[in-house]
Structure 1
Amino acid sequence: MRISIAMATYNGAKYILEQLQSLANQTLLPYELVVTDDGSTDDTLAIVERFAERAPFTVHVSANPQRLNFAGNFLRAASLCTGDWIAFCDQDDVWREDKLERVARAASLPGTSMVVHRIQPVDTELRPVSGRAAECRVRRGDGPERLPPFGYFAGLCTAFDAALLPLMLMRPRFPDAHDHAYEAAHDKWVCSIADAVGAVRYIRESLILYRQHGANTCGVAQHDLEHRWKQSVATGAASYQANADLASQYGATFERLANTPACAPWKAQLERAAVRYRRTHAYLLARARLYSVHGFGSRLALFASLCLRGSYRFNPIRPAHHALLKDLYLVLAQVRDRRVSSSEPEAASLQRKS
């Protein structure tokens, strides 16, 4: 299997040589390394060009004619690759020697569209630190939709079938979750596309040392589950409404792709993805209503409807039972609050009598 490496660079002179050397040390050498530089003002390009002279594989170096920023830079690098598979590569990490060998083994399974794996966050001296890169659960089995809605892995731990490039390079991408004025990053886009049309394989081992140095475009998250739970409760209905709007955008994007002639080979899978996100949209709207109403009967009816329809299977990112238990707690908490409020007058009356 010929695996191309797509590396996007920008002022990475401090650490890039160590990363390049880890590529040269792979037990399965890459077919090629494609480097696209986004206007570095340090020695990044000079280091890459010196490495290219002695590398045990072909290295293609290209300077972008204009700034593309990190997502566009990575996608341009991928567009110039000619291998059977493409692996994204950050400029400041270190790969485990058997990364490409493990990826190739997983990629050879029938129907595989993407391979993802865990990472090990490290400090500038490659010492392990706590935290995690963007990742999500992967449902067991074969076929599309093994990631949850909106689910994705950070680009540095993804590799995908190059046959999907016509899809990956389509524009516009759906909006970014944090700011709808911008298109989604390359990793969110590629993961969503790959999950819609094929099977995502998950390697449950860390195959990369993910260096944290304070200037990462996207670092590791330190928030634990309890923090995320409290945050989601605090944002309430507004958060679910915003995510419902995003799901609608995802659905519209997949529908547009399904009706694009260049995407005809994947039309059925893309249409199915569009339906999935329309259902996710409806589910999130229902949860927004659940968190906006205050009557016990209304909340109970909405919660029962979500359960009976099996809607929790469309829960983004987190497992379905997390959302179900959270909503159940919301309903039961209102019962508790009603009991407390009803007992207060009685307690006050007893206090007056005493």
Structure 2
Amino acid sequence: MRISIAMATYNGSPYIQQQLKSLAAQTVLPYELVVTDDGSTDETLAIVEAFAVHAPFPVHIHRNTRRLNFADNFLHAASLCKGDWIAFCDQDDVWLKDKLEHVSGEAHGDVSMIVHRVQIVDADLQPIPGAAIACHVRRGPGPQRLPPMGYFSGLCITFNAALLGLLLQHPRFPDANNPAYEAAHDRWVSTIADTVGRVCFINKPLVLYRQHGANACGATTGSLGMAIGRSGAPGSSTYQQAAMLAQNYSDCFEMLAASAAGTPWQARLQAGAQRYRATRDYLAARSVLYGTSEFSGRMWAWAKMCLKWSYRFNPVRAPLLAVAKDLRTVLFKTV
């Protein structure tokens, strides 16, 4: 099995040397390292070129002709990989030496994406107490094991290269944090991989995730990728916006299903579109609950969601916790 590493670089000279050394120290070496540079003005490329001379695997360096920014740069790097599996790699982290050994042991069957825990560290690689990133993966076989709109950070992700035909399509659904932009590479890959195959979670930190104050995306405590409800107590408009986002997910999966006509993935992509339509309906129902002033209206909205068990589509918290939160709102909301 061949694992390619896709590294997107931009002005990474302060830390990239340590990351490259950690790749060369892997107990299972990668098939290749593909680096796509987005116009660095520091010593990043010189460091990578010097590493390539003595690296124990092929290193392919590509200079982008125009700025792509980090999400499209990572997908561009992935598109140039020739391996059977592709691991995203940030320029400023450090891989533990057995990362690819653990990953390669899980790359079989219907697995579409392999993810793992990380250790969050400071600029000097010292652990940061209390900091963590995580995304829940349900137990059991089969696809759709991540919560709706849930995703893993790119530094955790190794995915089956067979997915590239889907992943390189446009447009991507909007980013949950800023709908003016397309979804980042990790949100996109996580969502599609979870829909068409099985996500394998390795419950062990395999990367030191460095926080140095200039990260393109920093670590947060708690659940990763759950943008809905982060800004405090959500109201009706919050759920309306989230319902619109879920509709965008559904539309995108309909597009992907049409492009995959005649393939084994078509039915799963159509199921993904249906799942996000159900997520849209659930979030719209919560919008009604939080926008209704009368007790009877709130109770009826809550009861319908319980009867349909729509809470299984909650993108933020466990279903029973969402049930309890809404019941409290039904009983004690003041207008």
Q: TM-score, normalised by structure 2?
A: 0.95
Distance in 2 (CA, whole Å) between partners of 1:209 and 1:171 is 32
CA shift, 1:260, in A, is 1.5
Task: Say if 1:135 and 1:151, in contact at 8 Å, map to a contact too.
Answer: no
Task: Say if 2:133 and 2:221, in contact at 8 Å, map to a contact too.
Answer: no
* Residue number in structure 2 paired with 1:3: 3
Distance in 1 (CA, whole Å) between partners of 2:272 and 2:249 is 9
* Residue number in structure 1 paired with 2:85: 85
Distance in 2 (CA, whole Å) between partners of 1:139 and 1:76 is 30
Distance 1:315 1:97, change over 3 A: same
* Residue number in structure 2 paired with 1:313: 312
Task: Say if 1:88 and 1:159, in contact at 8 Å, map to a contact too.
Answer: yes
Distance in 2 (CA, whole Å) between partners of 1:144 and 1:258 is 15
Distance 1:203 1:44, change over 3 A: same
1:152 paired to 2:151: yes
Query: Per-residue displacement from partner, 1:80-128 (whole Å, max 9, x unpaired)?
Result: 00001000000000001000011111222x2100001111110111000
Please say which structure displays the higher CA radius of gyration. 1
Distance in 2 (CA, whole Å) between partners of 1:180 and 1:154 is 18
Q: Higher helix share goes to which structure?
A: 1
Task: Say if 1:119 and 1:210, in contact at 8 Å, map to a contact too.
Answer: yes
Distance in 2 (CA, whole Å) between partners of 1:214 and 1:233 is 25
* Residue number in structure 2 paired with 1:341: none
CA shift, 1:266, in A, is 1.3
Distance in 2 (CA, whole Å) between partners of 1:209 and 1:63 is 27
State percent identity of aligned pairs: 59
* Residue number in structure 2 paired with 1:345: none
* Residue number in structure 2 paired with 1:278: 277
Task: Say if 2:228 and 2:238, in contact at 8 Å, map to a contact too.
Answer: no
CA shift, 1:153, in A, is 0.5
CA shift, 1:232, in A, is 5.7
CA shift, 1:136, in A, is 1.3
CA shift, 1:294, in A, is 1.4
1:98 paired to 2:102: no
* Residue number in structure 2 paired with 1:200: 199
Q: TM-score, normalised by structure 1?
A: 0.90
Distance in 1 (CA, whole Å) between partners of 2:198 and 2:163 is 13
Distance 1:232 1:284, change over 3 A: farther
Task: Say if 2:253 and 2:270, in contact at 8 Å, map to a contact too.
Answer: yes
Q: SS where residue 59 of structure 2 aligns?
A: strand
Distance 1:230 1:116, change over 3 A: closer
Between 1:216-225 and 1:78-87, the stretch displaced more is 216-225
* Residue number in structure 2 paired with 1:175: 174
Task: Say if 1:36 and 1:61, in contact at 8 Å, map to a contact too.
Answer: yes
Distance 1:209 1:285, change over 3 A: same
* Residue number in structure 1 paired with 2:213: 214
Give the RMSD, CA atoms, in angstroms: 1.9
- 1:245-324 equivalences in 2 (<5 Å): 245-261=244-260, 264-324=263-323
Distance in 2 (CA, whole Å) between partners of 1:77 and 1:147 is 25
Task: Say if 1:12 and 1:91, in contact at 8 Å, map to a contact too.
Answer: yes
Q: Which amino acid is 1:76 matched to?
A: H
Distance 1:3 1:235, change over 3 A: same
Distance 1:170 1:141, change over 3 A: same
Query: Per-residue displacement from partner, 1:1-50 (whole Å, max 9, x unpaired)?
Result: 11000000000001001000000000100000000000000000000000
Q: SS where residue 105 of structure 2 aligns?
A: helix
CA shift, 1:224, in A, is 9.0
CA shift, 1:131, in A, is 5.3
* Residue number in structure 2 paired with 1:43: 43
Q: Which amino acid is 1:91 matched to?
A: Q
Structure 1 residue runs of 5 or longer lacking an equivalent are 339-354
Q: Which amino acid is 1:90 matched to?
A: D
Task: Say if 1:130 and 1:222, in contact at 8 Å, map to a contact too.
Answer: no
Q: Which amino acid is 1:138 matched to?
A: V
* Residue number in structure 1 paired with 2:112: 113
Q: Which amino acid is 2:310 matched to?
A: S
Task: Say if 1:166 and 1:262, in contact at 8 Å, map to a contact too.
Answer: no
